[in-house]
Every structure is written in structure tokens, then in C-alpha cells.
Amino acid sequence: MVFRSKDGVPDRLTDFREPDMFRDGRHLQELMLEIVALNASETIIQPGEQVLVEIGGRLRPITERRMTIEEVKSFANWAADNDKAAAELIQRREVKASYVVKDPVARDARGERKATRFRVAAGRGELRGTMAVQIVMRRINSEPAYMNDSELPPEVVEALTPKDGVIWVTGPTGSGKSTFFSGIVRYVLENDTPIKGNIVLLEEPIEQVYDSIECDHSVVFQIEVGKDVDTWEAGIEQLMRRLPRFIIIGETRSRPTVDAVLQAAVTGHPVGTTLHANDVPGIFPRLLSFFSDEAKEAALYSAISTARVMFNQVRVPKLGGGMTVLREYLVVDADLRADLQRRATPAKIEAQMREALESQGFPMWKAAEQAHARGMISADLMRFYQSQATGANRG
């Protein structure tokens, strides 16, 4: 297919002038400055098409000319700040990165050039029977979230800033896990909590940044996998040598990352991380899936002893339009840890955690009921989560 927009190229809002060919990274920076000025949410770059942007839910071209495959490969290198990005795409590797556009005039609170961040996702595919590359650049709200502690009981807020141990946050891709952690980091920076010192984040890519926040007790340092370090494992090794006082690991995705999270917590560090699990009771079983049968019991003991609070969250349609987050959670206090350490086994831990969530925590069906009572979600959606809970408890 060939994209043919009913709309022409928008009037220019900056000094951007389309070159006869995009030849260096400066051209991408100028193009993205124009895209920022247009307030576009998405940018799509692929061979044989004009550069497309999404404005108000519609795709529109921003260039008159259609891009060549060589230009798109160059865009990949520039957007990822990696001269090997195009080669990696040809070798069937996905490229993920963040890209920063700096305004030549506007300044932030520190007097530095105002920055806008984009999440870059690029991959190989096929167009018109030929190998091709597509790049999607999504504009990110890089301002850290505010943690809405009015929606969380005091004991949960306290559990989010532990002296040591692990904060587990799970949920599907796009459910706002990184945003939630940015709210926790902001809360630490702006309040008097047990966490003070070097806060180190390992992410892929970096999304929210903390440059605008003033703090007299902590500093923040962010490491991007794929740009600053090659792998999650290498990043974890590096940050552990930085005297961290709070560690955020963007994703626990392998046995080495699980080991590193648990080891950091055991040695007295507070750690926050995400995991792919369907609900809070599924967190420990998911962790155990990384271990051999012989190692599961010891791993479970370490996971229980270091757990401080567990979350699962989903984004759901909001009445009136948009999306909202439903969140279930369980504070794993000393009494619950002692009980689980005494009774838990790898075979029974999911059922035991489901029982604990229902009796001591805030399960998803309660979150749905609360959201419905506030007029945020539909009755049908509330009943869906109520029925899910009934089925799980019967199982």
C-alpha cells in the first residue's frame, strides 16, 4: 500500500527546511524540533513513505519527499545514538532507545535548554517484497509522576520507601509501571524518608527524568540499557559499585537479574523492579520459574524474606474517555513474612499469597469497586473483576 493523506504537510512552525537528503544527525534534530512544535504524539519513519506524524489521532505527512532505505537506516543510527543500530536491525534485532530533542531557545528551571524525550522502537520487516526498517518515535511525558498518596493508605506509602527489601510492580506492557516508579522516586526526593543518598535507575529506555526537582539529601543517576551498558546484567553489576541507596531496575527478566535483585536487597539496599506476572499471587511463582527445581526452595525463602510490598496494575477504559489505572497490592510486613517462611512451599505459595491478598491486602476486585464508586469505570468492568476474583478463589 501507499499512504496518501487527505491533509498536506502542515505549515512550518520552526526554521526546519526539508533537505534534499537527510545526511547527518543534525537534520533529525531539526525535524524533531518541528514535530515537537506541532505537538505530534507519534512519528513513523519507513522507506517509500513520507515521514508521518500523528496529530489529534490522525496521521499526516511532515516531509514532501518519501524516504529511502539508506535514509531510514541513518535515522535509526541517529535516533538510537548508536552507529551500529542499522546493522543490528538487519541482523533481526530490535532497537529500543530514547531520543532527546533540545530546544535552541526555551530554557528549563535550571536554565538549561528545554528537552523533549521520545521512546524509539525500530525493527526489521518487509515492504513491497524487500527488506525494510520501520522506526516509531513516541513522545514521552518526561516529567516524573506525582504519587497520589491520597489513594494509598499510610502503611502502603511507608512500605514504598523501605530501608531495605524489594518493591515488586507487575502488569502488562503499557500499564504505567515505569510511571509509578517515577512517582516513588519523586516522593523520595521531595520528602523526608529513610532513603537518602545515591538513587540509581537502570532502564530501557530512560523515560522520566528528574532534572527539575530540587532536593537537599539525594542525587539521581540514570543508566540506559543499549546506550550506556550493553545488557541488564552488566548494568546491575555497574550500579552496585556506585554506593546506591535506592535501586530501580526497570525489568527483572532473567535468572541473573533475579539473583541481583535479591542479593541487593539481602545486603541492605531498597530495590524497586518490575516483573511480568498476571497478579500479586503470581509474583513468587514467576520468580521461581527462573530457577531449577533443586534451587526453588532456597530462592523462595530469599524472595519472601526480602519482599516489602507487591503491586499489580492494569490500565482500563475510563468513563467519559481516556484510561485509568486499577491497582492491587499487598504489604508484606514482618508478621506475614514470618508466616510465609514457616508455611510456604513452591507448590503452595500462589494459593497462600492469594489468601493473604484477600485477607490482608487490596485485591483487584476491590480496586474496581472503588473506581466504580468514584464514577471512574463502568459497572460492567467492575463486575468483570468481581467475577475474575470469584473464579480464582474457587480455583
In CATH terms, is domain 25-140 a member of 3.40.190.10? no
Average pLDDT, rounded, for the chain: 91
User: What is the per-residue pLDDT for 3?
Assistant: 65
Tens of pLDDT, residues 259-307? 999 999 999 999 999 999 999 999 999 999 999 999 999 999 999 999 9
Confidence of residue 394 (pLDDT cuts 50, 70, 90): very low
| Dihedral (Cα; 382, 388, 394, 395), 10-degree rounding | -170
Amino acid at 366: K
User: What is the per-residue pLDDT for 337?
Assistant: 97
Confidence check: pLDDT of 1 > 60: no
User: What is the per-residue pLDDT for 86?
Assistant: 94
SS (HEC) of the chain: CCCCCCCCCCCCCCCCCCCCCCCCHHHHHHHHHHHHHCCCCEEEECCCCCCEEEECCEEEECCCCCCCHHHHHHHHHHHHCCCCHHHHHHCCCCEEEEEEEEEEEEECCCCCEEEEEEEEEEEEEEECCEEEEEEEEEEECCCCCCCCHHHCCHHHHHHCCCCCEEEEEECCCCCCHHHHHHHHHHHHHHCCCCCCEEEEEEECCCCCCCCCCCCCCEEEEEEEECCCECCHHHHHHHHCCCCEEEEEECCCCCHHHHHHHHHHHHCCCEEEEEECCCCHHHHHHHHHCCCCHHHHHHHHHHHHHHEEEEEEEEEEECCCCCEEEEEEEEECCHHHHHHHHHHCCCCCHHHHHHHHHHHHCECHHHHHHHHHHCCCCCHHHHHHHHHHHHHHHHC
The ranges assigned to domains in the chain are 25-140, 149-394
Which CATH code for domain 149-394? 3.40.50.300
Confidence check: pLDDT of 134 > 80: yes
